[in-house]
Chain A
């Protein structure tokens, strides 16, 4: 680990490694979701988490957040145990968007990302308030949501909501961003444009981003690495190394074929369903 006594993990300190799992395992309701998982995510990397339903993608995010304890092995998140670096992690949970009755402005939602955990009533007009408001404007500008941030979030499209939610997760200048299926409800062009936005954020804000995705194709061009969860284990590496017939067959322990279509898309053939999925794709 790069953390030594000479470089204490104060807020804003930069580590080279954002996430390090060593031989980690997670159990949920008596069954092992995955085990013997070892992986490293470097700072400012854009990483997609892939795998079939029930393979434990959201579970991985929760383990990184410290919401689920490890059943074995160890994990270091921004140089600290899971759950200890909460303030430096931006998190966007899996969701189905806000319904049209939600009368909350996007800008207020982003503001909550900054001061939503603070107690007491803020006095208007103070330096802190002005600095906070400026940061909120800045991050809304960054995600390109300035035109509609003042409108109630419920009336916005899925893509517009996602941009504001990413702004909310970014507003505290996290060093690590965890996005659980943010592209799920978007059409293909919107998926690509949000992925390109995230690529840009990685570079400009120097954040490591972990994005859980169903389909790698719309985003594969923007990724540094992928984590592929399947068969109770995980593999991590560059997309072209991981998404191959040989690698995935080894991971699944069954013959898997990765086809390259003429328009450059990757198609994974022969994926068996994850074992013991009780219709719970969030596991």
Chain B
């Protein structure tokens, strides 16, 4: 049992601890998978927050749950379920967005889809007659038992997705901040919106495999939202988003290795803590600037 081997606590000697961390192949695979997922989530998450599509992203992550449950039920690899369902979910979301109804009608439709996805997930779990003991890890993630083959799949998908976002970076940025002007300038706004949802589906499917379906936000939204708070510049923003996702993933994996609590908890709490810290910090700074201005005007 790797958990038993892992649970030895800190030695408080960083070199021994790091050595310990890399001594187990499952841990090396987990770190590799976490790194790949964090880079991909950092990049796509930054655009998702920019496009205000976090609700769509959340729905895709909920769709990942019945995907994984259906794959378990059918005896297929979990990745098949994650990628298959998230891909279909992205198509459905693109269809909803494509009907160009009002924003409230769109979010209502997305919400309905989300509820259906959760219900399907529970159906598949109960069809499995309760012996699906990995329900926890489907919902909340696991870093144990990531195989080298899985790492390769994650890497290939991540390279494809990040590559697509990189090629489309400027038109996608343009379409996200100013769709009308971008359209008039010849940017294929609707095709980009559709393509981005598909890439987002891939990113969610990947992230789900580490953080679980319910905690995808920890890597996809929180680091990106923090980066948007910290800088309005696009290139440093994306880099910061990736760096924050990497930091919380590595720290979360290391903490989970040395303790009995699940990795999803650590990754989520770390990114949430960072986000709160940045918000409070920015708020304090703004207040200080405002009072300095007031003092200046009074003087």
Contacts and interface: CB of A to CB of B under 8 A. Distances in A.
Interface of A: 65, 67, 86-87, 89, 91-93, 95, 102-105, 108-109, 112-113, 115-122, 152, 168-169
Nearest to B163: A121
Nearest to A178: B184
B136 interface: no
A72 B177 CA distance: 35
A112 B178 contact: yes
Contacts of A87: 186
Contact of A86 (B182, B184, B232): B184
Contacts of B129: none
Given A86-B186, A104-B232, A117-B171, A93 B166 contact: no
Contacts of A67: 184
Interface centre among A115, A119, A122 (most CB of B within 10 A): A119
Nearest to B231: A103
B167 interface: yes
A78 B166 CA distance: 34
B228 interface: yes
B232 A105 contact: yes
Given A105-B233, A120-B167, A86 B177 contact: no
Interface in B167-213: 167-171, 173-174, 177-178, 180-182, 184-187
Contacts of A91: 181, 184-185
Is the contact region of chain B dominated by helix, strand, or loop, or is it mixed?
A: helix
A121 B233 CA distance: 15
A95 B229 CA distance: 25
| Leading 7 A-B pairs by shortest Cβ distance | A116-B174, A93-B180, A91-B184, A103-B232, A152-B232, A112-B174, A105-B232
Given A116-B173, A117-B185, A169-B181, 11 more contacts: A86-B186, A102-B177, A104-B177, A108-B232, A108-B234, A109-B178, A112-B177, A112-B178, A113-B181, A117-B170, A120-B167
A116 B232 contact: no
Contacts of A122: 170
A171 to B, nearest CB: 11
A109 B170 CA distance: 11
A119 B167 CA distance: 6
Contacts of B177: 102, 104, 109, 112
Given A103-B232, A104-B232, A112-B178, A117 B186 contact: yes
